[in-house]
Structure formats: C-alpha cells, structure tokens
Amino acid sequence: MYRKIEEELNKWLQDFKMPLMLIGARQTGKTYILEEFCKKNFNNYIYINLDKEDSICNIFESTINPETIIEKLEIIKNINFNPEDTIIFLDEIQVSERAITSLKYFCESAKPYKIVCAGSLLGVKINRFHSSFPVGKVVIKYLYPMDFEEYLMALGEDKLITEIQKHYETNEPLMSPIHDLTLELFKKYLTLGGMPALINNFIANDCNIAHVNFELQDQIITSYLADMNKYTENSESVKNSQIYNAIPKELARENNTFKYSIVDKDARKIRYESSLDWLLASNMILKCNLTERCESPLKAFINPDKFKIYLSDPGLLRSLSNIDYREILLDKNEMYKGVLTENYVACEFYSKFKELFYYTFNKYEIDFLIKLDGDIIPVEVKSSRRTSSKSLNEYLKKYNPQYGIRISSKNFGLENNIKAVPLYAVFCIK
C-alpha cells in the first residue's frame, strides 16, 4: 500500500547528507515501509533488528567508530560492505542508546554511509536520552496511521480523491450518489482506523466489513500495553495503562478537557504527569492544548493545565471503547460516533500540523484552531447532518477571520462565511 511518507524518503535519498530516523507508534508500518524503500533503491541492503541481535548491540557498546562498526558487521554478517551501494536499516534502535549516538559519527564520516532506523518508542527514548543525542546529525521523520486519503488510495479510489479535492477547492457539492457512497466509505474507515493491518485485512476480505478480523485492533492495544510493561518501571507502567484506558471515558464527557480524577479519583498531576508525557512521546496519544488567545502564535498562549487527549487512531479508540462496528455503520450510537469523529479529525490535523489547539470564549467552544494561509481558522466538528453552528457563528462575529470551517456529514458548500467540508474531505485541509 502506498504511504505518503515515501515522498519524504525519496527526498532524503536525493539530497542525502545524514542518517534518517523514522518515528511512530507500533504497528503504523515503519518496518515495512523502510524495508521496501531499501530493497527498491539499493543493490545491497542490511537489515538489523537490535531487539533480537545482541551481538550487534554489543558492537555499539564496544565502539561508536563507524569504520570499526562496519568491520565487525562484515564479520558477523559475512559480507563485503560497499558504502556506495549499500544501506543499513537499524530496526528497534531504541534498544541501544549507543547505536543512536553512533549516528552522529556515521554522519560526520568522509564515507557516504547510508543508514535508516526505526523504533516503536523512539520518541520516548529521545525524551529520556542520557548521552549526547545527535542533534543536527539525523533527519527525523514521523509516521502516523494511514489517513483517509491513504485509505482511499489503498482501495484504488484515485479518481474519487481527485473529485473530492476539486470540490473542496470550488465549494460545489458532489453529486448526491457520490457523496453518499463516500460517506459510507468514511464510516467504514471510522471503524477500521488507519492501522495498516486492519486496512489490509479489509481489502483481503473483498472490502466486506463484516468479515474483518477486528481482533487485530485488540492485539495492537495489547502490544501497546506490553510496551508500557517492557520499557517502564512497574509503577509507571500501571499509571501509563490507567491513563490510556481512561481515554474513552474522558472523551465521552460533555466537557472533555482532561481531568486526572477520571483516571483515578485520588490522582494528582504531580504523580501522573510523567506517565502522560511518556504516552505522548510514544505517539500512542495526542494532546490538544487550550489556547487563551486566537492569535499567532497559538502555542505562545496555551494554558498548560487545560488540554484534551485523543487516541492516535480512531479505530483503536472504537476497540478500546468496546463499541461494535455496526453501531457506527448503522448510526445506532450517535453520541459515541461524535467522539470517534472528533478523534478522527484530531488525527488528521495532527499528522499535518504536528500540534493541536482548541479555544473557549464566553460560554462557547471551538473544537480546533488551525493556521491556514497566514490566518487563524476556527473549525467545528459535527458527526451528522445536524449542523447548528452557534459557537462558530459567534466566533466569526467576534473575531472576523477569513472564514470558518464546519466539518460534518453535509456536502460541500460555502454559506455565511462558513466553508462546509464533508467528513471524508478533511485530508484536503492543509
């Protein structure tokens, strides 16, 4: 399946100067993408999983000199290494801090060593690095679950993507049959989420949602919880899992600003803040900050004590919430469909803008503030066709932005300075 990160990898190769590090949560496809990239672009490719190859880890423990490392690799792997046409892929690199440190010296070497690396908890490792992290010596890229556009690509719906993009630009409604068809595709995506294993399974079962193995989502969540146990002390692991498991309850509240008391009635920020930071660094959850001014830069005006937490994938949220997929497809659970929809928009925005903000004024709340074409644009999210937009209307009156965006089940349109964007077209907002 095509992933948009491939464009970034090709740019890195064309202007190669330093090693590349791909960061993302487990099961987002990092290993598969880098393996395919290496095989496609190099005559010789060396794959090393540092979580399984202790002998390689021991090399880095003994030296971080590139030439010595390569000499030892040649012996262990029984190869002749030519840096001109060979690439090394270090997987699960978070296991070895010395391997990460060595990337600096590979970058500074006169020889054109080409190295890519990945790890499911690299964000955590970077945040807690004890040695000298190779700042400025590594290209860092992020991989997120597949967004709705990548999902459509995987289904072979390239013409539909073009049609959606065209109508996003013109604000002209799509033909009703196409609009309705795409909404059905969206509902399926909302239940599947963007984890490649689920989308692959969906396609392998002739796109019949009834035959999808949704246990795959449970297995991914189990692997996340296992990572918490493996890479943290027991007390921190418990707090990590408490926060993670509390997210469905947090999001279901009318005012879903994060409260530690929802995690545990006796919870306090000082006790749980490091666990929250761990989950954020692991890319398992996303943070949406309350900004107290709707002016640039939004980050300068955030309230550090008020924020929302979303899961990194709407499908995992559905699974963690124990919501049957039929409840979403048949609109039997409008309340939680709204929760999943807001989480979906958060994931789409985070993959593009790398940060999330919301805003409150008087008694109103704007779901998201984003910066487009130099202006702060308010965004309201609705999961259905009922699109009363009082908060958005009041914001437009008070702050007079270029326009506002309402994301809902309604077709494209532009009325009263509100740009109507269907749920399936969020990928066009960039």
Q: Which fold has domain 5-142?
A: Rossmann fold (3.40.50)
Q: Which long-range contacts (CB under 8 A, 24 or more apart) does 146-149 make?
A: 146/1, 146/3, 146/29, 146/194, 146/195, 146/196, 146/199, 147/4, 147/194, 147/347, 147/348, 147/351, 147/427, 148/186, 148/189, 148/194, 148/344, 148/348, 148/424, 148/426, 148/427, 149/4, 149/427
Note down pLDDT in tens along the chain; length 430 residues: 899 999 999 999 998 889 999 999 999 999 999 999 999 999 899 999 999 999 999 999 999 999 999 999 999 999 889 998 999 999 999 999 999 999 999 999 999 999 999 988 888 888 777 777 888 999 999 999 999 999 999 999 999 999 999 999 999 999 999 999 999 999 999 999 999 999 999 999 999 999 999 999 999 999 999 988 887 888 889 999 999 999 999 999 888 899 999 998 888 888 999 999 999 999 999 999 999 999 999 999 999 999 999 999 999 999 999 999 999 999 887 788 899 999 999 999 999 999 999 999 999 999 999 999 889 999 999 987 666 778 999 999 999 999 999 999 999 999 999 999 999 999 999 8
Amino acid sitting at position 269? K
DSSP H helical segments within 29-90, as ranges? 30-41, 54-62, 66-77
Whole-structure pTM value: 0.94
HSE-CB for 397 with a 13 A CA cutoff: 8
Strand 356-361, strand 364-366: pairing: antiparallel
Can you give the residue ranges of every domain in the chain? 5-142, 215-428
Q: How far is CA 128 from CA 109, 336, 344, 358, in A?
A: 26, 36, 29, 29
**How far apart, in whole angstroms, are the C-alpha atoms of residue 345 and residue 180?**
19
